[in-house]
Structure 1
Amino acid sequence: MSHASDIRNDGEVNVISSVAGYLASLVMLAGTLIWLGQNRPEWSVFRWLPPIVLTYMSAMLLAGGGLWAVNDAQSQAYAEIKRLLVPAMILLLLLQCRIGELLKLGPRLLAAFLVAAMGIIIGCLVAFLLFRSLLGEGAWGVFATLAGSWLGGTANMVAVQTALAVPDADLGYALLVDSIDYSLWLMLLLALVPLADRFNAWSRADPIKLDVKIDHAKSGGRLREPQLLLLFGTGLLGAMLADQVGQWLGGDGFFTVSVVRILAVTALGLVLAYTPLSRLSGSETLANALLYLMVATIASRTSFADLASAPIYLMAGVVILLVHAGFMLVAARLLRLDLFTCGIASLANIGGVASAPILAAAYSRQLVPVGVLMALLGYVVGTAGGLLVGKVLMWLGGVDP
C-alpha cells in the first residue's frame, strides 16, 4: 500500500490510508457539522440530536463504510491525538474557572450543587447494579463516562474515557444517554418554572439573594490569531507537562499514568486561571473545537454494531435521573431550597454551560450569571467525580483496574 496518496481504490471501497488524510477528513467532518448546527438550527435532525452526537454517528457510519484504513500509522496517530488533545482541551476549559469566583455563589447554592452531584453518583451506582446483568462486563465504563458528563460536561466525559481506558464504543452509549435523557430532563425543569411558588411553599424556601457577576472582559472580545495560537500552544505544552507528571507519579491501582495525567492538567488549568492567559478570549471556543475533533476521532474506531444495548442504557439513564431527583427533593425540604436553586444545581451538573443559563433566564435574566458559574464548577469536579464512579463500579463489577 502506498501512502503517497490519501485515497486508494481497494475493490469497491475507497479507503483513506494516510495519517494526513485521516486527520483532514475528521477535522472536515467535525467542522461541517458544527457549522450546520449553528447555521441551520431549524433542520429537524438538530431538534432531536445535537451536532456532537451527529458527529459521533456520522464518523461511525463512515468507519463502517470503510472510509479509513485500520493500519499502524493511523492507530498511532489516534493514540497521540487522545494523549495530547484531551488534556489540552481540559486545560483550556478551566482557564475561565477561578475558584474564588465560584465560592461567591454562597453556601446554599454550593450545597445544592454538591447534593445534585451526589444524587448523580449514587444514581449511577444504582443503575449499574440494576442493569449490569443485562449489559455485560463493560457497563462500568459507560456509567463512568456518563457520570463525567453529568457532573461536568462532554469534555469531562471524554477525559474520563481516556483516563480509564474505556472502550471507544462505550462512549457512544454515554453520548446517546447524555443527549436523549438530558433533553427530557431539561424540558421537565423548564415546565416546572410556573410551579415555583407552590414548590417553594412546600419546601419552606427562603428568598434567594445573590450579587453574582461575570467578568465579560475575560470571555468576550474579538478572536485574534495570535491569542488563539498562544492558547493552543499553552494547551499542548500543558498536556505534555501533565503527561510527564503522569509518567513520574502514575502506577498501579487508582492513580494510573492516565489518571494522574488528567488530574495534573486539571490542577494546572486551575492555576493558570489566575494568570493573564485567563483574559484571552477564545479558550472555550478552541476547547469545544478540540472536543468535536476528539469525538469524531473516537467514533472513527467504532461501529453501530457496538450500540445494540442502547435502549437499556436509555432506561438506566432514567433511573439515574429519578435517584438524582429524589436527592434534590430531600435536600429542598431539609435545607429549605427554592425551585430555582434545585433546578439550576441539577442542570449545572447534567446540562453544563450550554443549558444552565437557559433555565436561569427562565426565572430571571439577572440570574443567568449564577447558572454560568455553577456550570463552570461542574468542569472542575466532573472529571474527578467520573473517575471516582468508574473506580467504584470496577470494584463492584470485579473488574481489574
Structure 2
Amino acid sequence: MQDPASTTALITSDVVVFGLLASVLGLVFWTSSRTDGFWKSLYTYVPALLLCYLIPSIFNSIGLIDGDASGLYPMARDYLLPAALVLLTLSIDFQSIRRMGPKAIVMFLAGTAGVMFGAVFAFGLFEVISPQTVSGDTWRGMTTIAGSWIGGSANQAAMKEVFDVSNDLFGQFVAVDILVGTTWTAVLLFLASRAEAFDRWTGADTSSIDDMKRRIEAYQAQHARIPTLNDLMIIIGIGFGATGLAHAIGDPLASWISQVAPGLARYSLTSGFFWVVIIATTIGLLLSFTRARELEGVGASRVGSVGIYILVATIGMHMDIGALFERPLLFALGFCWISVHALIMLAIAKWIRAPLFFMAVGSQANIGGAASAPVVASAFHPNLAPVGVLMAVLGYALGTYCAYITGLMLQAMAG
C-alpha cells in the first residue's frame, strides 16, 4: 500500500471510501431486485457481480479514489474472507448430498475435474498456438478462475493472495471469468427448457428428482425461521472466532516452514495467508458435522456472502479499466477452457445416464457458485433451487484445495 499522503485521489479517507463502496453495493442489489423496466433488462445481460467489481474500478480509474492508498482491501482480505469461508462451508449437509444419489455427486465431481483438466488443456494448447497469450504470469491469473469455477468469489480471492496475482492481471481474469461463465450459464438455461429431449438422449431416470422436491419442501418447513439478534451474534462469533484461530495458527506455521523448509515456498506453503485459508475452510467443514450447521436456517451463508461482496468491491477499487482490454486472446483461452469442461460433462452424463438436471446443476455449482446455481436449478422447478445452493456450498469446500492443485499444475507447465 502506498503512502496515503502521496495520492492525488479526490477521496482519501477510508471511512468515506468504505461508505461509498457500501452504497454502491446497496444500489446494485436494490436495482438488480427490480422485476420490470430498465433494470430488469440491464441485469438480463449484465451480471450484478460484474458491476460490484466494475463500478469501484471506474472510481479508481478516474481518480475519485485510490485503491493502492487504501487499507480497505487488506482488512477485507484478512478479516472478512476467512470468516466468509467458515460461514459458507459450515452449512454443508453431507447426508442430503448423499441422498441425492451417486449420479448427482458424479456429475458435480465431473464438473470439478472438467475445470481442472480444462485449465491444463487450454494452457497447453495456447502454448502451441499462441505462446504470448500464456506467457509470464498468466498461469497465476488462471488460478483465480480455477478458484471461482470450482468454488466461488471467496476461493477466487484466496487464490489471488496465495499465488500473488497482480491487480491488473486479476482484473483481466475477472473479466474473462464473468463473460465466459455468464455465457455458459445462458447455455444451461437454454438446455433446461429442453430437458425431456436431453433425458431421452441419455436414457435418464428422473424419479429421484421428484422425490428430492418433496424432501426439500419438508426440510424448509422445519428449519427456516427469522433470525434473532442472538442468532446473528452467534454467527458473527463463529465466523470471526474461527478467523482469529486461523491467523493464530497459520502465521506461525508459515514462519516455521519458511525456516525449516524454505524450498516449499514454490508451493505457497510458506505463505501465512495460504494456511489461514486452508484452516478456515477446514474449520467450516468440521463445524458442518455439528449443530452449528443449523445456523444456515437463520442465514449463516448470507452473512458470509455480505463479507464476500465487500471484498469484491475492495478488489475492484484496485483494478484499472484499461487493463481489461489489453489481452483479448485471454477470452479465447477462457472459452477453450469452458468448452473442455462442457464436453466432459456431456460425455459423463451420457455414460452414466444422468438427467440434465444433475448435469446442469453440477456444472453451474462449479462455474457459477451459490450466486447462479440456484437460478439454473429453479429453471427446472422452483422447489429445486436449494439443491443448487447445496452443491455450490460443496464447491466452496473443494474450491480452495482443487484450485491450489490446479495452480501447482499450471505453475509446473509454465516452468
Secondary structure at the counterpart of residue 65 of structure 2 = coil
Q: How many angstroms apart in 1 are the aligned matches of 2:389 and 2:143?
A: 24
Q: Which of 272, 280, 283 does residue 268 from structure 1 map onto?
A: 283
**Partners of 1:222 and 1:87 in 2: CA distance:** 25
Per-residue displacement from partner, 1:264-316 (whole Å, max 9, x unpaired)? 10111122234444333132222222111111111222211322345322222
Q: Are 2:256 and 1:241 equivalent residues in the alignment?
A: no
1:23 aligns with 2:18: yes
Residues 60-139 of structure 1: pairs in structure 2 closer than 5 A: 60-69=57-66, 74-75=70-71, 77-131=72-126, 133-139=132-138
CA displacement, residues 147-176 of structure 1 (integer Å, 9 cap, x when unaligned): 111112222212222332222233323332
Cα contact 2:68–2:318 (8 A) shared by 1 = no
Deviations 1:34-81 (A, max 9, x none): 233224774243232222211211111111222235676x34x53233
Matched, 1:320 2:320: no
For the Cα contact (< 8 Å) 1:246–1:257, is it kept in 2? yes
Deviations along 1:159-196, whole A, 9 cap, x unmatched? Answer: 22233222223332333223222222222222223443
Residue 315 of structure 2 is matched in structure 1 by 298
Which letter does structure 1 place at the counterpart of 2:226? R
Shift in Å, 1:134: 1.9
> Is the 1:49–1:179 contact (alpha carbons within 8 Å) kept by the matching residues of 2?
no
**Paired position in structure 2 for 1:359:** 376
- Partner amino acid, structure 2, of 1:142: G
- Partner of 1:388, secondary structure, is helix
Give the match for residue 148 of structure 1.
147
CA contact (8 A) 1:17 1:71 kept: no
1:46 aligned partner: 43
1:61 is aligned with what amino acid?
I
Q: Compared with structure 1, are the counterparts of its residues 272 and 65 closer, same or farther at alpha carbon in structure 2 (3 Å cutoff)?
A: same
CA displacement, residues 232-289 of structure 1 (integer Å, 9 cap, x when unaligned):
2322221121122212333434233222211110111122234444333132222222
Cα distance, 1:217 vs. partner?
A: 6.3
Quickly say closer, same or farther: Cα 1:45–1:195, change in 2 above 3 A.
closer
**Range that drifts further, 323-332 or 195-204:** 195-204
Contact kept in structure 2, 1:217 and 1:279, CA below 8 Å:
no
- Which secondary structure state, in structure 2, belongs to the residue aligned with residue 192 of structure 1? helix
Q: Which residue of 2 aligns with 1:288?
A: 305
Q: 1:79 to 1:190 in 2, by over 3 A?
A: closer
Moved more, 161-170 or 32-41: 32-41
Q: CA deviation at 1:323?
A: 0.5
Partner of residue 345, structure 1: 362
Is the contact between residue 84 and residue 307 of structure 2 (CA under 8 Å) also seen in structure 1?
yes
Q: Are positions 1:229 and 2:246 aligned together?
A: no
Once residues 234 and 159 of structure 1 are traced to their aligned partners in structure 2, the CA distance between those partners, rounded to angstroms, is 20
Match of 2:379, SS? helix
Per-residue Cα deviation, 1:311-344 (whole angstroms, up to 9, x for no partner)? 3222222111211121122212322223222222
Give the CA deviation at 1:135.
4.5
Deviates more, 1:34-43 or 1:50-59: 34-43
> When the two structures are aligned, how many residues end up with a matched partner?
389
Aligned twin of 2:273: 258
Give the conservation status (yes or no) of the 8 Å contact 1:96–1:278: yes
Aligned counterparts of 2:88 and 2:34: Cα–Cα separation in 1:
24
Q: Secondary structure at the match of 2:10?
A: strand
Q: Aligned partners of 2:309 and 2:56: how far apart in 1?
A: 11
More helix by share: 2
Quick one: which amino acid aligns to residue 49 of structure 1?
Answer: V
1:163 match: 162
Distance in structure 1 (CA, Å) of the matches to 2:232 and 2:12: 30
Aligned residues with identical type, % of pairs: 30
Q: TM-score, normalised by structure 2?
A: 0.84
1:40, 1:15 → 2: CA distance?
36
The verdict on how the C-alpha distance between 1:221 and 1:260 changes in structure 2, with shifts beyond 3 A counting, is: same
The aligned amino acid for 1:144 is: T
1:203 maps to 202
